[in-house]
Every structure is written in C-alpha cells, then in structure tokens.
Structure 1
C-alpha cells in the first residue's frame, strides 16, 4: 500500500482538504449564526406578546421622545386623548389581507399642544376620499399600539413625495414636517379595532406575527456541513488514506508513482 504520508502531501489532496475545511467551517458558522438569530427572534416575539397583552399606559410625552427606541417601546399599548385634525389626514397605500387600500393617518392634537399621528386603520381604495367617510369630531380617546416611524423603505419601495403629498410609507418626520405640524411625536399609534367590526377605517390590523425560519435555516447549514464531511470521507477513501483505494487497481497500489 502506498505510503499515506506521500498521499497527504499531494497538491490534489491538500487542495480538496482545504476546500472541505473552509466549507465545513463556513457552514457551521452560518448554522451557529442562525441559532443566535433564532434566540434573538424568540426574545422579540416574547417581548412583543407581553407588550400587546399588557394594560394600556399614557402615550409618551415630549420629555420622553428622545429616549424612545424600537427595542424598548415598539408595540406598547398606549392611550392618548385629543382632537383629530381631520383636514390634515393622509392616506398611505398598503396591501392587506382585505385587499389593496390605504392606511388613514390623522394627526391628533393633545391638550398640551403636541401632535401624535394616529393610524386610524385601513380603508379600501373606493373609500380613500375622506368625503366618503364621516370623521370623528371633538375630543376623543384613542387606544392602540405605539409604532416607530418608517424612515426607511423596503427594497424596490417607492419614496415618499412630500411636495405632492404622496406617501408610500409611514415616515412620521417627513409627514409632520410637510403638514407643518409641531411639536410632533416621532412615533405613531396604530389604533385598536372599534366596537363596530364593519366600520371604516378598520382598526386593529397591526401585524404582530414575526416570520421565524431561523431554525430551519440552521438545520440546513448544519446538514450541508455534515454532507461536506461525508463527501470528504468518500474522497479520503477514494484516495486510499484509509483502507484500500477504490481509485486504482491493487497491483498499482505499491507503485504510487506509476499510478500517478
């Protein structure tokens, strides 16, 4: 049998071993990263579920605006009281389980003079025009979920056009600036569903389900690492590193140079 030491010093053996090692380390690293993301996502889901189920608290005032973060505050259940500025309503196109339509965002002015944008809910395309709906009048109390401004768009999403008052995402800073509203909260509130399930706008449509496929991805990466090691084992067997090589007849195993 050929000397194993000579086998493992061949360029082909070294190259294949290096590739197998890099692939295995890479696949294992990706699997470990997906495990980390799995626990991160589970923590988010747990925190959001707890906030959604918790009793409502007053929406943050100006003194707290600077310390509001997505990690600590988004999806908190809050209440606020004030008067809707219906003349400054904006509509933002969105696809939903009810079909395409618009979010109706209306600024609510509180007694302290501050403004909070409230997503009053969804309306179908035929109800986009405010004249086709009856807006709330006078002082109202709103309960809903605190949401962070959508300052960045998704891939291929259209940019807001403040000059023409066309909005494609809930970028609160851009909207309140274009409307000349100040001082305005940096967040908005998704209003909860009302007592009439058939009323428009339709509140309570906040999506609080988070896609969590990290475990399946982790299994895939670890499986690919295992497959790489399995194929590398076949290569070692093929090369004759252990057992009899299946790549050459037995009569040539003693003369490795001639086989080469």
Structure 2
C-alpha cells in the first residue's frame, strides 16, 4: 500500500500537481476503501406528509355524505308513512260504510261475492246441524268487554269455537256455510245445546267472508278431527257438500242456548302515526348531529 502511494505521488508531481494535492490523495488512498454502511436513500417523508392531509380530507368528505343518507332515508320513510296513513284511513272509511250498509239479497253468482266482503246480505232457508264444523280456538267478539279490558295487563278471556253450519237457501236452491257464532269449549258438543239448534226455515242476515290463506305460525286445518284454524272455503265446502260461500250471521241471529252471533272482526290496525313520529323524529335527531359535526366545527378541526 505504501509503495503504491509513493508511485501515485510521483505520478502527480510529474503531472504538475502540488505537494499538498499529492498528500491529500495519498491520505485518501492510505485510508482504504470506505466502510460498509447503510445506503443512502432519498427521504419520502416530505411526500408522505403532503399526501396525508389530502387522504384525510377525502375520507372526511366520504364520511360526511355517507352519514347524510341516514336523515335523508328517515325523511323518505316518514313521508311514505304519511301516504300509507291516508290510504288506511280511506280504507277504514270504506269498510265502515260497507258494514253499515243495508243488507242485500245474496247473489247467486259466486263471482259477484268477490266484491262484497263485509257487506251484509240476507238469506232464507234452514240449517243442517248434522254437518257442523268448528273453527278453533276462538274468543268471543264483545266490543263492550274489549273496551273495558283495554289497557289491562291481563284479562280473563274465555276460549271456545265458532260453529260453522251448512244452510240451504230456499230461494236460490244452493247450500252455503254460515258462521252461527261463538260457543265456549264446554258447549262444543251439540248435545249440550239442543235448545239452540234452530229447526225450520229462518231469515238470516250475515256478512260475506271470503276464503283466506294460512298465515305464518297458524296450524294446518285438521278436517279429520273437525278442527279448522282458518277459512279454507274449498275444503269446507267439499266436506259438507255446499257451495264455497261463507257468511257470518249477525248478533240478531242469536237464540237462547245457541251460538252467539255477530262474531265478525272488522277492525283495521292503523299505527301509521306512530311510524310517522318515529321516522321524522329520527330524521330530526340525525340531521342535528350531522349539522353539528360537519357544518359547525371550526376550520382545521
């Protein structure tokens, strides 16, 4: 190494370099190669710091408009419930006017009955008590009792059944099904209510009822045991040999010892005002929180 330095010094002097330059070169050569260490790389701190505010601003902007969907959606649902309430009130008004209408003769064409549900009709004929059907379990429709029990946590409600009896219409020459009304469970056997088994021709007024499909959690009908949980007019008519026409006899049809008539439930639930208050209230609350967070905060926060 020393010999190489002397040779390099001679070369530099021959080339006209001064003694000081020669000494500097010799020291760098004698020092040897540079020590191994971490390689120098350009710092990206500056670019990361510049990109961070932009990314944070983009995230805040997305969150701001995403959260705005909550009050907007709540307002839309509240407005939809307003329209639903108008529709329900109109439906209730039509139903009440139909229920209170004067009875009309039962039409002979079953197709006409599709537009007459809850409409009072009048028929004349006689019952066939040997083919009774029982819709159960049922509770008696009693508006006075239900008004007194409103708001109570518990009430003693008697369970029983509706007695469905074939009725031969003399004028029309057809047989239909008539819901004579409610009997308690202990009176389900017709032998326990012989006085209520009407004989001979009678005039009846009842409300037309259409067939219904089984709702969730409602048991299947059991024709073998004569237990019916919903009105399946086709199956009932096939079993009794009647036409698939069904009416609920009114309260005036009640006779001592017999089923209690007037068991038609015509109430429609109208809870849309609660939904309107809920959705509009949620809209107001979330709008306030959104405004407070995104529009009233100090700049730079």
For residue 84 of structure 2, give the secondary structure of its aligned residue in structure 1. Answer: helix
What pairs with 1:188-207 in structure 2 (closer than 5 Å)? 188-194=246-252, 199-207=257-265
What is the total number of aligned residue pairs between the two structures? 230
Partner residue in 2 for 1:118: 178
For residue 202 of structure 2, give the secondary structure of its aligned residue in structure 1. Answer: strand
RMSD of aligned Cα (Å): 2.5
Partner residue in 2 for 1:147: 209
Whole-Å Cα distance in 2 between the matches of residues 60 and 210 of structure 1? 26
Deviation at 1:7, TM superposition (A): 10
Residues 132 and 36 (structure 1), Cα distance of their counterparts in 2 relative to 1, 3 Å cut: same
What pairs with 1:72-91 in structure 2 (closer than 5 Å)? 72-91=115-134
What pairs with 1:1-260 in structure 2 (closer than 5 Å)? 9-21=57-69, 23-61=70-108, 63=109, 65-69=110-114, 72-97=115-140, 98-111=157-170, 112-134=172-194, 135-150=197-212, 152-179=213-240, 181-182=241-242, 184-185=243-244, 187-194=245-252, 199-237=257-295, 240=297, 244=298, 253=300
Whole-Å Cα distance in 1 between the matches of residues 138 and 225 of structure 2? 22
Partner residue in 2 for 1:248: none
Deviation at 1:195, TM superposition (A): 6.9
For residue 252 of structure 2, give the secondary structure of its aligned residue in structure 1. Answer: coil
Whole-Å Cα distance in 2 between the matches of residues 8 and 144 of structure 1? 72
Structure 1 length as normaliser, TM-score?
A: 0.79
* Conserved 8 A contact 2:253-2:261: no
Deviation at 1:104, TM superposition (A): 0.5
Which structure carries more relative contact order (alpha carbon 8 Å, separation 6+)?
Answer: 1
Whole-Å Cα distance in 2 between the matches of residues 59 and 130 of structure 1? 28
Deviation at 1:164, TM superposition (A): 3.8
Structure of greater Rg: 2
Deviations 1:157-207 (A, max 9, x none): 10112344321112221111123x14x03x411111137686430111322
* Conserved 8 A contact 1:7-1:13: no
Moved over 4 A (4+): 6-9, 195-199
Whole-Å Cα distance in 1 between the matches of residues 295 and 55 of structure 2? 12
Whole-Å Cα distance in 1 between the matches of residues 85 and 217 of structure 2? 27
**Structure 1: runs of 5+ lacking an equivalent:** 1-5, 246-252
**Which structure has the highest helix share of the two?**
2
Structure 2 length as normaliser, TM-score?
A: 0.69
